[in-house]
């Protein structure tokens, strides 16, 4: 049985928003003290199931207790009207519901203090689409659920996130103030219009059926079952070319140091099945694994091929054959923005999967660079194998989506991509494709 607690509840359900326990923090931000209309209530009639989350009420909005009546607000309303959306028929709120002096971007502490408002609003409105206008809004919505800091909305704009906790599409876009102040207004306004059009289009796109992906990971601990699995891979599929994804976990990033070694491996055979197992000091096991690696008819997927290729070469003495797809390079091809190509980031934006490394991260971290040893030997083997298996499974799924977006002909390597299809895994990226 899967170990309870490996995933947060928000990763496993799309039905409920976890209760907030920070309602007592509300006044700690002090913004209410300088607001004419503190604690601005939810705006809009809610007839259209879009929730617009902005930064804070601007000065004019605070004085008149009205949403989006500043220059930036009027600009935003015009853009929505061109898309057939009346802002007043939607729902509106802020990352911080009290005015920030000089329209200054609220701090993370202030945003966190107002988090109960966001959770309450989403629970009440139950939007199908949430448009996050700028960094503060995005921080308020997802900042507490990612390992990386949201330092700029630029890395997120244009992506459509199927959020499992809110059961809604999250669509980050630039704040209208940024567009109006940008030195290249035509370019930024074009991007803004494209992102907004894409966000509005999600009203007609059902959310994917969220799964508990850990149920698709088969944990193999005993030699007999590991050997049986590898023989299944090698001999039951020997008559055709097919795709797999594989991933290692080891004592560090670079294998050249003598003390470095591989600890676990996982191999995904389909987008719905992966097996994870420890590396055995056994000649039959090593021979079968190396035969898999050297078989050029078995196509192989990884996230950053160089890691698995080098470790196989140095520690197993094996040249990997049949490399077919690298999800990191694939994302570079699709979108060449910096800091968006990690498996963790792509899992979140494509599939709504939050970081699943809570139980293992501290053991995989090295203190002084890639040639140093980590503490993987202290990690619970079940947790490590589940983490390792999730990497291979999501690499396989991500490769399917990316290859479909790139129009790469991969069906000859995988005959029956029907469950799930790329369009089922990430429907938000295929709505406008023929």
Q: Which helix (H) or strand (E) holds 73?
A: helix 71-82
36 and 17 both lie in a single domain: yes
The pLDDT assigned to 16 comes to: 45
Asked if 82 and 121 sit in the same domain, the reply is yes
The answer, yes or no, to whether residue 24 has pLDDT greater than 50, is no
268 and 393 fall within a common domain: yes
**Residue 434 maps to a domain:** no
Query: Domain boundary at 180, 204, 228, which?
Result: 204
> 18 or 318: which carries more pLDDT confidence?
318
Please write the tens of the pLDDT for every residue from 337-354: 988 999 999 999 999 999
CATH number at residue 270: 3.30.420.10
By CB neighbour count within 10 A (0-12 exposed, 13-18 middle, 19+ buried), where does 239 fall?
exposed
Q: What is the mean pLDDT of residues 396-425?
A: 78
Report the domain count for the chain: 2
- Domain's final residue, options 204, 226, 255: 204
pLDDT in tens, 188-206: 899 999 999 999 999 999 9
Query: What average pLDDT does this structure show over 253-260?
Result: 92
Contact between 54 and 6 under an 8 Å Cβ cutoff? The reply is no
At residue 367 the predicted structure's pLDDT band, cuts being 50, 70 and 90, is confident
pLDDT bucket at 362, cuts 50 / 70 / 90: very high
Looking at the fold, whether 147 and 242 belong to one and the same domain comes out as no
Of the candidates 160, 168, 199, 177, which has an alpha carbon nearest to the alpha carbon of residue 68? 177
Residue 133, pLDDT > 80, answer yes
C-alpha distances in angstroms, 286 versus 98, 223, 301?
A: 62, 11, 20
Both 139 and 231 in a single domain?
no
Q: Is 330 left (phi over 0), alpha (psi -120 to 50) or beta?
A: alpha
- Whether residues 291 and 226 share a domain: the answer is yes
2 pLDDT band (50/70/90 cuts)?
Answer: very low
pLDDT band of 5, cuts 50, 70, 90: very low
Task: State how beta strands 262-270 and 323-326 pair.
Answer: unpaired
Query: Distance between terminal CA atoms of the chain?
Result: 42
Q: Tell me if 51 is assigned to some domain.
A: yes
pLDDT at 12 over 80: no
For residue 146, what pLDDT band results from cuts at 50, 70 and 90? confident
Print the domain residue range for 295.
213-429
Are 233 and 244 spatial neighbours (Cβ–Cβ below 8 Å)?
Answer: yes
Query: Could you tell me if 387 and 266 lie in one domain?
Result: yes
Higher pLDDT, 124 or 370: 124
Is 67 inside a domain boundary?
Answer: yes
Average pLDDT over every residue of 170-193: 89
Q: Which residue has the tokens 């792509």?
A: 346
Q: Write out pLDDT tens, residues 87-104.
A: 999 999 999 999 888 778
Residue 19: per-residue pLDDT = 44
Q: Say yes or no to pLDDT of 391 above 90.
A: yes
pLDDT at 366: 85
pLDDT band per the 50, 70, 90 thresholds, residue 416: low
Q: Is residue 26 part of a domain?
A: yes
State whether 197 and 218 are in the same domain: no
Instruction: Give me the pLDDT at residue 332, please.
Output: 93
The CATH number assigned to the domain holding 71 equals: 3.40.470.10
Same domain, 177 and 31: yes
Among residues of the chain, what percentage have pLDDT more than 90?
71
Mean pLDDT rounded to a whole number for the chain: 89
Confidence of residue 62 (pLDDT cuts 50, 70, 90): confident
What pLDDT is recorded for position 210?
A: 92
Of 25 and 417, the one with more pLDDT: 25
3-state secondary structure of 298: strand
- Is there a domain that residue 31 lies in? yes
- The pLDDT assigned to 407 comes to 79
**Percentage of the chain modeled with pLDDT above 70:** 88
Q: Which stretch of 142-151, 410-419, 425-434 has the lowest confidence by average pLDDT?
A: 410-419
259 and 304 inside one domain: yes
Q: How far apart are CA 2 and CA 43, in angstroms?
A: 43
Judge whether 55 lies within some domain: yes
Distance of CA 46 to the CA centre of its chain: 28
Segment 205-226 mean pLDDT: 95
The residue among 147, 170, 204 that closes a domain is 204
Q: Output the pLDDT for position 155.
A: 93
Residues 99, 244 within the same domain? no
pLDDT band at residue 21 under the 50/70/90 scheme: very low
Confirm whether 1 is domain-assigned: no
Q: Is pLDDT at 322 greater than 80 in this prediction?
A: yes
| Residues 218 and 166 occupy one common structural domain | no
* 149 pLDDT higher than 70: yes
Judge whether 423 lies within some domain: yes
Whether residue 275 contacts residue 388, with contact meaning beta carbons closer than 8 Å, is answered with no
Task: Name the most confidently modeled range: 15-24, 192-201, 332-341, 425-434.
Answer: 192-201
Q: How confident is the model at residue 76 (pLDDT cuts 50, 70, 90)?
A: very high
């Amino acid at each position: 049985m899967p170990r309870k607690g490996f995933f947060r509840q928000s990763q496993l359900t799309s039905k409920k928003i976890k209760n907030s326990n920070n309602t007592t923090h509300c006044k700690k931000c002090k913004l209410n003290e300088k607001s004419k209309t503190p604690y601005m209530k939810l705006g809009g009639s809610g007839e259209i199931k879009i929730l617009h989350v902005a930064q804070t009420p601007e000065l004019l909005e605070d004085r008149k207790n009205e949403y989006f009546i500043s220059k930036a607000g009027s600009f935003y309303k015009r853009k929505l009207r061109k898309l057939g959306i009346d802002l007043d028929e939607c729902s509106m709120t802020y990352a911080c519901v009290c005015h920030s002096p000089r329209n200054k971007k609220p701090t993370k502490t202030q945003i966190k203090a107002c988090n109960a408002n966001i959770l309450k609003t989403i629970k009440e409105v139950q939007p199908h689409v949430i448009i996050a206008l700028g960094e503060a809004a995005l921080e308020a919505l997802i900042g507490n659920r990612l390992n990386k800091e949201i330092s700029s909305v630029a890395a997120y704009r244009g992506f459509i996130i199927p959020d499992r906790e809110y059961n809604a599409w999250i669509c980050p876009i630039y704040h209208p103030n940024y567009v109006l102040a940008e030195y290249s207004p035509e370019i930024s306004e074009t991007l803004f219009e494209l992102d907004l059009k894409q966000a509005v289009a999600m009203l007609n796109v059902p959310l994917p059926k969220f799964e508990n992906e850990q149920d698709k990971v088969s944990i193999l601990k005993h030699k007999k079952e590991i050997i049986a699995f590898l023989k299944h891979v090698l001999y039951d599929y020997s008559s055709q070319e097919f795709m797999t994804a594989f991933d290692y976990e080891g004592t560090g990033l670079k294998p050249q140091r003598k003390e470095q070694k591989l600890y676990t491996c996982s191999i995904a055979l389909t987008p719905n099945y992966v097996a994870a197992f420890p590396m055995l000091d056994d000649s039959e096991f090593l021979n079968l694994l190396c035969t898999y690696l050297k078989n050029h008819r078995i196509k192989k997927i990884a996230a950053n091929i160089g890691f698995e290729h080098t470790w196989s070469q140095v520690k197993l003495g094996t040249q990997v054959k049949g490399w077919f797809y690298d999800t990191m390079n694939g994302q570079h091809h699709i979108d060449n923005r910096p800091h968006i190509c990690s498996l963790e980031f792509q899992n979140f934006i494509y599939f709504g999967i939050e970081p699943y490394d809570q139980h293992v991260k501290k053991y995989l971290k090295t203190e002084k660079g890639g040639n140093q040893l980590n503490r993987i030997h202290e990690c619970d083997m079940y947790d490590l194998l589940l983490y390792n298996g999730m990497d291979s499974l999501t690499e396989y799924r991500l490769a399917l989506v990316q290859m479909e977006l790139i129009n790469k002909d991969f069906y000859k390597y995988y005959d029956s991509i029907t469950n799930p299809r790329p369009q089922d895994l990430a429907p938000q990226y295929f709505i406008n494709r023929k």
